Structure 1
Amino acid sequence: MTAHPLLPDLAAHAKATAHSLTPSCGSCAAVTLADRPDATVVRHAGTVAKAHPPDSTPAGLVPRLAVAARLPGLLLAPLTPEPADLHGRLVTCWPYGRPVDPADPDAAPWEAAATLLAGLHRTPVPAGLPAMRGPAKAARAVTRLRSTTGAPDTAATAVLRAWDTLPAWARAEAPQPAPGALCHGDFHLGQLVRHPAPDGPWLLIDVDDLGTGVPAWDLARPAAWYACGLLPPDEWSRFLTAYRAAGGTAVPVQGDPWPALDVPARALTAQTAARAITKAREEGRPLDEVEQCLVDACDRMVPVPPELTQASPK
């Protein structure tokens, strides 16, 4: 069977949208920004076209697009409020924004990111919005690891044991604790762009996992990296301090933030370690230093105390 030409057709879709908005943008070539099984992204001039994950549905994506359109100061607003269908994939178009430079970690916009997340978490949850998909995404990573483990493997065993210590909601086996907040669902520095490019304000992108849920999940990746020794303490402090100063609701205003962060941070550590092991297996290589650090963190995990299972700040 011949594969559908998603990438060239997505590029043509981006070009058509770009020229409909700015006829004078010329004959510039399309640039592929990402081409993964879960997302293909192409840029043509100032327009970016994204093919969403294959399991995306209009019922799940359209309400998320509507939220982005209503919160232009927090989320990048889509150019197309309704997704198109291209070879069975939902496709949306967005204005181009300049991403965080991965080669310049000292310029990471931790304060801006924290302020945006705090604003998102303070926003009333729109009616009809689906659940935040962070736990479901983590569960998929662990399921994939289970399917590729094969022979006994100490790294995989450590990750799966850590995963099994988590409460059911964090493994997507039960609803997330109420009351829920408006959450991004998959925050990391790659989810930020400056718009208008190149020097506009920072905005959050990628609404695929946006929804109602535990706001501490959005802080969990930097929290996990800090706990694993992969994020310097000063950067974690900048992020947490800015989040609290902006009125974020995921952690208490003062005092120890970890009772709220512990479960989500454990879940993100297990998710990231599961992905790392799966990728290393597929590439036929040993774990690198960072990947091994995540596995080691999983190996140190013990069952979550009952008082931490509800993930709400006190």
Structure 2
Amino acid sequence: METETARSALFARLAEIGRRSAGAATPPELLYDRHGVLVVRVGDVVVKAHQADREHGPAFLGRIRLAGALTGLVVAPLGPPLTVDGRTVTVSPFGEPVDPGRALPWEEGARLLAALHSAGVPAGAPPWGRPARVARLVARLGGGPAEDAVRRAFATLPAWIRGEEDEPPAPAERLIHGDWHLGQMVRVRDGRWRLIDIEDMGRGDPAWDLARPAALYSAGVLPSDEWERFLGAYTAAGGPAVPAQGDPWTSLDIPARSLAIQIAATCVISAGREDRALDGPEQAMIDACTRISAAGDAA
């Protein structure tokens, strides 16, 4: 675990990189410090120390090149990654994040994803970086009723998601973000929205970009009107992840179940680390896991 001294030293290094990149002596601002990620803003740039346990070799360089080619859709790093105290660091233009106190930009996010999914897949685009995360999180679970509920649901997923077989080819590979939620959007200087955080961006099945809101909706955490706004805007924009007509869950079922289990595992791990009970939305995700396993038993 990173010590406070090491974290403070890393913050200072990122702030200095930001001052050099921004060409200004603006005081640094901490934007994010969770899950092994540290993000610092200095003026018009943000400096990000990526998770130490993520792959940042040739595939990550390919994602940076890919992001740079997606003008109008993605905020790309301003240059190749740096190495700072053994950590991979990128510098990117600053954008205003989504304000949870205002109307959420579901339609804007849907249209961004539809445009990304409809873009041509360039030669050499790396494969997306998921869904291995759900298996890693489930492997970290301890014992207890909530943990058991998550594990039973996990057992209903296809073997390739559980890490027991190779991932099959996507029905039609597209460019995807790979870890989309509203926190992966910022508003840039021209007032338009862009995607950020490219660690999982690449070619894959676009249904996985809709998986998180679909999982939250199916668990009762995301209100139905917000889900309908998002899905309606996505299909209206020609998004290819779901059928233009017919049941969207023919495409979304497995991704949504996987993300429900992943979110539930994250909730249990976080609550255990903080020595607290699950809150209402977290318990709703555990309840969703119970329904998933019951449906699997009945199948």
Task: Normalising by structure 1, report the TM-score.
Answer: 0.87
2: CA distance between counterparts of 1:43 and 1:11?
8
Partner of residue 252, structure 2: 261
2: CA distance between counterparts of 1:209 and 1:258?
23
2: CA distance between counterparts of 1:123 and 1:38?
32
SS in 1 for 2:140: helix
Deviation at 1:303, TM superposition (A): 2.6
Distance 1:172 1:15, change over 3 A: farther
Partner of residue 312, structure 1: none
Deviation at 1:90, TM superposition (A): 1.3
Partner of residue 311, structure 1: none
Deviation at 1:169, TM superposition (A): 3.0
Select which of 153, 159, 162 maps to 2:153.
Answer: 162
2: CA distance between counterparts of 1:241 and 1:304?
32
Deviation at 1:239, TM superposition (A): 0.7
CA deviations over 1:205-235 (Å, ceiling 9, x no partner) = 1001112222111001111111111111111
Select which of 29, 47, 50 maps to 2:48.
Answer: 50
Partner of residue 134, structure 2: 138
Q: 90-99 or 32-41: which moved more?
A: 32-41
SS in 2 for 1:222: helix
CA deviations over 1:274-305 (Å, ceiling 9, x no partner) = 00001111111111111000000000113399
Q: 160-169 or 274-283: which moved more?
A: 160-169
Partner of residue 289, structure 1: 280
Tell whether 2:50 aligns with 1:66. no
Distance 1:51 1:294, change over 3 A: same
Residue pair 1:39, 1:51 contacting (<8 A) in 2 also: yes
Q: 270-279 or 5-14: which moved more?
A: 5-14
Partner of residue 186, structure 1: 179
1: CA distance between counterparts of 2:258 and 2:230?
20
SS in 2 for 1:129: coil
Deviation at 1:87, TM superposition (A): 1.0
Select which of 203, 211, 235 maps to 2:226.
Answer: 235
Residue pair 1:251, 1:260 contacting (<8 A) in 2 also: yes
Partner of residue 17, structure 2: 13
Structure 2: any 5+ residue segments left out of the alignment? none
Partner of residue 119, structure 1: 115
SS in 2 for 1:168: coil
Residue pair 1:96, 1:195 contacting (<8 A) in 2 also: yes
2: CA distance between counterparts of 1:181 and 1:169?
20
Distance 1:177 1:29, change over 3 A: same
SS in 2 for 1:158: helix
1: CA distance between counterparts of 2:248 and 2:297?
16
CA RMSD of aligned residues (A): 1.9
Matched residues, percent identical? 50
Residue pair 1:169, 1:177 contacting (<8 A) in 2 also: no
SS in 2 for 1:303: helix
Q: Which contiguous aligned blocks of 4+ residues in structure 1 show a shift greater than 4 angstroms?
A: none
Structure 1: any 5+ residue segments left out of the alignment? 20-24, 307-314
Residue pair 1:115, 1:246 contacting (<8 A) in 2 also: yes
